[in-house]
């Protein structure tokens, strides 16, 4: 089964440099570019699109709540109309920059709290789907398997893709644990949680955190370097199957 190895990128802004985007681009097939609300800024967005273009990596929009201080991980009481508008705004901003660099926009993946809220709240999920459809019906919408977001995307006539996270822990209901300073990036138990309680079926896209891409250990019997070599060798090929990353 073909797998799209995906990562969040473009999270630097102003004087602050976050992540390792140039290194990450070597080992992913698609990238979610922050659109300036939870992270990123116009210059960073453009530089990140250029990195993706030069590496042959597909580009997607990564809209989040307007919460730079909280990195978009705090739930905000935004109405569905507000969510629709802020998502449309961010998609449009990145699409303009991508067009200027000769790069087509391929997908949309909501960020952080917006992503998690839309996974369970249909009105917000519908709002995101409407924004994507209003901008470009050909854009692919990413989301958790069985989530309200994917259901809303399908109802809106969009192509949807189910994803699993290789560097995040899961709750028993299949939702991801919100990252805070008190939750470690996967050390060892997190990946076990992906296999044991997370979505172990229907996953066609695997996401890695932009600044932790080679530190998670998807299989306990192999180190991060081995995973990196395998990903580099299998990038874009059907042979890179889900069990390579989800085997406990």
Per-residue pLDDT reduced to its tens digit, 38-97: 999 999 999 999 999 999 999 999 999 999 999 999 999 999 999 999 999 999 999 999
Residue 224: band (very low, low, confident or very high) from pLDDT cuts 50, 70, 90: very low
Q: Which residue has the higher pLDDT, 219 or 19?
A: 19
Of the pLDDT bands very low, low, confident and very high (cuts 50, 70, 90), residue 173 is: low
pLDDT at 243: 28
Instruction: Please provide the DSSP assignment of the chain as one string.
Output: ---EEEEEE---BTTB--S-HHHHTTS-SEEEEE-SSSS--HHHHHHHHHHHHHHT-EEEEE---S-TTTTT-S-----HHHHHHHHHHHHHHHHHHHHHTT--EEEE---HHHHHHHHH-HHHHHHHHHHHHHH-TT-EEEE-TT-HHHHHHHHTT-EEEEEEETT--B-TTSPBPPP-TTS-S-TTHHHHHHHHHS--SS--EEEE-TT-TTT--SSTTS-HHHHHHHHHHHTTSTT--HHHHH--
pLDDT in tens, 85-113: 999 999 999 999 999 999 999 999 999 99
């Amino acid at each position: 089964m073909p797998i799209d190895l995906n990562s969040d990128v473009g999270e630097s802004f102003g004087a602050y440099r976050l992540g390792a985007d140039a290194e990450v681009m070597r080992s992913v097939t698609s990238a979610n570019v922050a659109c300036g609300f939870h992270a990123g800024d116009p210059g960073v967005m453009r530089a990140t699109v250029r990195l993706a273009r030069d590496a042959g990596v597909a580009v997607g929009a990564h809209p989040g709540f307007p919460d730079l201080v909280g990195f978009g991980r705090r739930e905000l009481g935004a109405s569905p109309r507000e969510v629709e508008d802020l998502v449309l705004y961010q998609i449009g901003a990145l699409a303009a920059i991508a067009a200027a660099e000769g790069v087509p926009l391929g997908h949309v993946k909501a960020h952080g709290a917006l992503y998690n809220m839309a996974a369970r709240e249909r009105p917000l999920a519908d709002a995101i789907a409407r924004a994507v459809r209003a901008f470009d019906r050909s854009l692919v919408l990413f989301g958790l398997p069985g989530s309200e977001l994917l259901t809303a995307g399908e109802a809106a006539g969009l192509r949807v893709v189910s994803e699993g996270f290789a560097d995040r822990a899961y709750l028993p209901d299949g939702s991801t644990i919100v990252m805070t300073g008190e939750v470690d990036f996967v050390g060892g138990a997190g990946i076990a949680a992906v296999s044991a309680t997370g979505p172990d079926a229907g996953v066609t896209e695997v996401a890695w955190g932009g600044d932790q891409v080679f530190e998670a250990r998807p299989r306990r019997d192999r180190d991060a370097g081995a995973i990196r070599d395998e990903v580099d060798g299998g990038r874009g090929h059907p042979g890179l199957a889900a069990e390579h990353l989800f085997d406990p």
